[in-house]
Amino acid sequence: MMGYLSMGNLLKVLTCTDLEQGPNFFLDFENAQPTESEKEIYNQVNVVLKDAEGILEDLQSYRGAGHEIREAIQHPTDERLQEKAWGAVVPLVGKLKKFYEFSQRLEAALRGLLGALTSTPYSPTQHLEREQALAKQFAEILHFTLRFDELKMTNPAIQNDFSYYRRTLSRMRINNVPAEGENEVNNELANRMSLFYAEATPMLKTLSDATTKFVSENKNLPIENTTDCLSTMASVCRVMLETPEYRSRFTNEQTVSFCLRVMVGVIILYDHVHPVGAFAKTSKIDMKGCIKVLKDQPPNSVEGLLNALRYTTKHLNDETTSKQIKSMLQ
């Protein structure tokens, strides 16, 4: 008999006897609404999240100025082509600046959520159960992050455009040419943006740095409060995906890909934040189970997520990772 609790509460479905794997319950990613006590953080995070779709659309339509840049480099004395390339690159750098600034806002939102979801006296499970709307926002941040990084990874124009912008700008400075694009991005910001875009997965790196920083700044909070929150989230996603009666409750087929991305996102965060990572025997994440869930999906739909586990985790290639897990990710 399933007890349906009030909206935004968890549908407590499985009471898990196997404590190793952590608690199993249904997280209502589709309908969770904030309770009174969640509202303040929820509203702060919501202001950031409502811009996420627009950022992804801008990134998806980012075409780059490769053609104009090539022409300008091939004909260095043709002033018209130099101006054309500069004119094409400056608005693109404005977009790149906007993406970078959004990563900073997202980082602040994540830290607010971590503060709420790890505070004493509740356990991570109790937090995720009591604060479903915040858990859902945390999931939405991860979902956005993986989508952003998937798009960025397949778009080499971003780094080419930005390095052309920087080279041209320093040449203009040397020649004392006023550059109308310069007020957009000063040197210090350009350095930070360069580091950001040099990462294969810049948003994920931002989140994992933010989580690590959160742990180190909150000395009085055991690191387990944070890592258990992540491993519980991974368990919940895995169980919801592998249990037919949960899966059948998703009213929107997008929820499956949402759960898959969130599961992979929390695994990667856990792997960066936890001292021994997600792949060791002592890890609280059932990695074999999670990889199996991914492998059970249509292959073309999860290759990007399997690659994220292969290339953006920290401990996969450690000695402590079992051969079986390594071979599953071959």
Q: Which is nearest to 141 in space by CA: 242, 262, 232, 32? A: 262
What percent of the chain shows pLDDT beyond 70? 89
The answer to the question of residue 90 being in a domain is: yes
The answer to the question of residue 255 being in a domain is: no
The answer to the question of residue 148 being in a domain is: no
Q: Tell me the C-alpha distance between 109 and 169, whole Å.
A: 33
Count how many domains the chain has.
Answer: 1
Instruction: Please state the rounded mean pLDDT for residues 32-47.
Output: 86
Residue 311 has pLDDT above 90, yes or no: no
pLDDT of residue 157: 95
The answer to the question of residue 267 being in a domain is: no
Residue 255 has pLDDT above 50, yes or no: yes
State the residue range of the domain holding 186.
35-122+155-199
pLDDT digits (tens, 9 = 90+) for 190-203: 999 999 999 988 99
The token duo for 255 is 């929820």
Q: 11: helix, coil or strand?
A: strand
The answer to the question of residue 150 being in a domain is: no
Q: Tell me the C-alpha distance between 27 and 133, whole Å.
A: 9
- What's the start-to-end Cα distance of the chain, in Å? 42
DSSP state of 12: E
pLDDT band at 17 (very low <50, low <70, confident <90, very high): very low
Among the residue ranges 18-22, 71-75, 80-84, the one predicted with the least confidence is: 18-22
pLDDT band at 117 (very low <50, low <70, confident <90, very high): confident
pLDDT digits (tens, 9 = 90+) for 167-193: 998 888 887 777 665 557 888 899 999
The answer to the question of residue 95 being in a domain is: yes
Phi then psi dihedrals of residue 13, to 5 deg: -110, -55
The answer to the question of residue 208 being in a domain is: no
Q: Locate tokens 């956005």: which residue? A: 144
Instruction: Please state the rounded mean pLDDT for residues 282-311.
Output: 88
The answer to the question of residue 49 being in a domain is: yes
